[in-house]
Amino acid sequence: MAEAIQDTHELVDTVLLEAVNLAIHWEMQHDENVVVLGEDVGSNGGVFRATDGLKQKFGFKRVMDTPLAEALIGGLAVGMSTQGLRPIAEIQFSGFIFPALEHLMCHAARMRNRTRGRLSCPMVLRAPYGGGIHAPEHHSESIEALMAHIPGLRVVIPSSPARAYGLLLAAIRDPDPVIFLEPKRVYRSSKQSYENNGEALPLDSCFTLRQGKDITLVSWGASIAETLQAADALAEHGIDAEVIDVASIKPLDMQTILISVARTGRCVIVHEAAKSFAVGAEIAAQVSEKCFLNLQAPVQRVAGFDTHMPYFQNEHYYMPNVQDILAAVDKSMKEE
């Protein structure tokens, strides 16, 4: 992967995983304060190879293999970022983030407020997340709601190669801590063309992937794939679905969602995380608070079960699929 990556401003055609790698390459090349740390990120190029080639190009002082100790990774990133560096820390799987949470929640997230703006933590903590690759519990969880509940943290989830590239660049440049959750089920699922030109995407807006007038489908991460497939299937039956990729979970761009739902009158939210107390619940609450009178049907949620991620034989029961989305749309469309 590394040889192909050059600072060329050229059109590239990559999978999401390579887009992550390209964005880090770009920013390390253009900002000497950007450093990478994590388990096996150096010589091995990361558990999924997201950091492939970085150590060879930028050296061991900027690409640091850490011990297997997530608390240390979180603490180092906080210390580095308050002292002028821009660390990009990798947690191998999001389920291993919890020992680092003390540093994220009690320090990174509060630093700017605690020091009245004297210090900030411009750090990114990247973690592959979500199910669908036949790995158990810690390796498959969706933790976006947990992270989004912490004031002071941004939470960003890309769903395509181009958005991974642009959003990660924005996350690295942001002056505050960003949890960047990478939907590993779609790490290599499809390629997309985009310019490798260092251009960041906004961290404060949703992306409308498909315009439609009959119903609004809201999703993020790997579930975007099934949501778009559902929209295609609906089009064949004459139902015109709008698809919104939330992308920046926190802060949440409700404006885009509300404008869409006010127009369509119907809303289905699709996510892989367990249904209760989730980001979908927050969106549903705000839709009912702010555009109740525009709704023609109750908001529907298609989500994971309120259980641990099952072992791989049963994983497909847990993950929302196209049929689940179509059933929720059907329910919504039947309401007058």
Report the residue number, 105 or 206, with the smaller CB distance to ligand TPP.
105
Residues 6+ away with beta carbon under 8 Å from 240: 212, 213, 214, 215, 234
Give the whole-angstrom CA distance, residue 269 versus residue 284.
8
Task: Please report whether residue 223 would count as binding ligand TPP according to CB under 6 A.
Answer: no
Exactly one of 139, 237, 271, 308 is catalytic; name it: 139
Triad 18, 10, 164: Cα angle to 5°: 35
Instruction: Please state, in angstroms and as integers, the Cα–Cα distance from residue 274 to each residue in 16, 162, 308, following that order.
Output: 24, 27, 9
Among 2, 49, 66, 96, binds ligand TPP (CB under 6 A): 96
CB of 44 to ligand TPP, least distance (A): 10
CB of 315 to ligand TPP, least distance (A): 19
Task: Please report whether residue 39 would count as binding ligand TPP according to CB under 6 A.
Answer: yes
CB of 39 to ligand TPP, least distance (A): 4
Closest CA to 125 of 96, 89, 167, 95: 89
Report the residue number, 19 or 91, with the smaller CB distance to ligand TPP.
91
Give the whole-angstrom CA distance, residue 128 versus residue 50.
10
Among 4, 68, 119, 259, binds ligand TPP (CB under 6 A): 68
Report the residue number, 76 or 239, with the smaller CB distance to ligand TPP.
76
Angle between helix axes 254-264 and 279-291 (nearest 10 degrees) is: 60
Give the phi and the psi of residue 257 in degrees, each rounded to 5: -70, -45
Task: Please report whether residue 71 would count as binding ligand TPP according to CB under 6 A.
Answer: no
- What residues are annotated to the active site? 139
Residues forming contacts to ligand TPP in the complex (CB under 6 A) are: 39, 68, 70, 92, 96
